[in-house]
Amino acid sequence: MLTHRGVSTQAIKRNAPRLRASKPNDIWCWDVSLLKTHVIGQFFYLHLFLDLYSRKIILAEVLLSESADNASMLTQQAVAREKALSSQVPRVLHSDNGGPMRSATLQGTLQTLGISRSFNRPHTSNDNAFAESIFKTLKYCPKYPVTGFKTLEDAQTWVMHFTRWYNGEHLHSGLNFVTPNQRHNGGDKEQLQKRNMVIELAKSKRPERWSGKTRNCDPVGDVYINKPSEEEAKLAA
C-alpha cells in the first residue's frame, strides 16, 4: 500500500542548504527582481548581490534583460569592486534555481574566481530569504515610484540612491540597529559600545526609569541560512 505506483516520477527528497557566515565576504546571496515601468507588461530587471553577514548591498544594477551573460558580467563586477575595497572575494554565492543562476556561463566564471555555488531547494523561497527581504525593503520604501519607472536611467538612478541610503544610513534591525557599512567594516562593535555607555550613564543618573535590564548592545553573531537545530548541532559536534 505504501509503495510508489504509477508512471509519475517519484518525489525526490532534497536537503536544505545550510550556510553560516561568520565574517564579511564569506557568503553572498543574489537574486533578480522585476521593476515596473509605465508600459503594462514591460519590466526592468534589478540584479542585486547582498553580503549575508553584514547585509551590505555589494552591487545593485538595473538592466533591460535577464541572461547568463549578464549574470556572469555582474558577478565579475561585484567581485572586482569588493576585492578593490577589501582584497577579499566571497567563499560561496547563494541563489535560487533560475536559468542564469544555473547557467554554464556563470559556473565557468565562478570557477575562475574560486567561488562555490549554492542553491535553494525547488520552490522554496525561504532558502534565500535575505535576498527576498531586501527586495521588499526596496519596494516598500516610501519614495519608491509605485506607478513604475519612465526610463531605464530613472530606475538606475533611483536604485543607486537607495543603495547609498541602505548601506550608509539605514539602521538595520537585524544588525541590532547599526548600518550595513558599519557591520561590514567592523565598526559595529565600537558603535554598540558607545551606545551601551550612553545607556549606562543615563541609568546611573535616573535609575528609577529602569525596572529591569538595559537594552542589549551586543554585536550580532554569525548569520545562518537554515540554522541547524540544537540537536543537529550536537550530533555534528
Better-predicted residue by pLDDT, 211 or 14: 211
Q: Is residue 164 part of a domain?
A: no
Q: For 153-207, what is each residue's pLDDT tens digit? A: 999 999 999 999 999 999 999 999 999 999 999 999 999 999 999 999 999 999 9
Tell me the three cell numbers of residue 43.
519590466
Q: Which residues of 80-115 are buried (b: 16+ CB within 10 A; e: fewer)?
A: eebeeeeeebbbbbbbbeeebbebebbeebbeeeeb
Question: What was the pLDDT predicted at 107?
Answer: 96
List, in sequence order, the alpha helices (H) in the chain.
68-86, 99-102, 104-113, 129-139, 152-168, 180-185, 188-205, 230-236
- The residues near 71 (Cβ < 8 Å, ≥ 6 apart) are 47, 100, 101, 103, 105, 106
Tell me the three cell numbers of residue 222.
554569525
Q: Is residue 9 part of a domain?
A: no
Q: For 49-103, what is each residue's pLDDT tens digit? A: 999 999 999 999 999 999 999 999 999 999 999 998 888 899 999 999 999 999 9
Model confidence at 233: pLDDT above 70? no
Question: What was the pLDDT predicted at 236?
Answer: 61
Question: What was the pLDDT predicted at 173?
Answer: 94
**How many domains would you assign to the chain?**
1
Domain membership of residue 122 as a residue range: 19-151
Question: What was the pLDDT predicted at 26?
Answer: 95
Q: For 115-167, what is each residue's pLDDT tens digit? A: 999 999 988 888 999 999 999 999 999 999 999 999 999 999 999 999 999 99
Q: Is residue 71 part of a domain?
A: yes
Q: Is residue 105 part of a domain?
A: yes
* CATH code (residue 123): 3.30.420.10
Q: Is residue 56 part of a domain?
A: yes
Q: How far apart are CA 220 and CA 198, in angstroms?
A: 19
Report pTM. 0.90
Tell me the three cell numbers of residue 55.
547585509
Q: Is residue 232 part of a domain?
A: no
Cβ atoms < 10 Å from Cβ of 136: 10
pLDDT classification of 1: cutoffs 50, 70, 90: low
Q: Is residue 37 part of a domain?
A: yes
Q: Is residue 127 part of a domain?
A: yes
pLDDT classification of 4: cutoffs 50, 70, 90: low
Among 94, 98, 162, smallest CA distance to 134 is for 162
Model confidence at 234: pLDDT above 70? no
Q: How far apart are CA 28 and CA 48, in angstroms?
A: 10
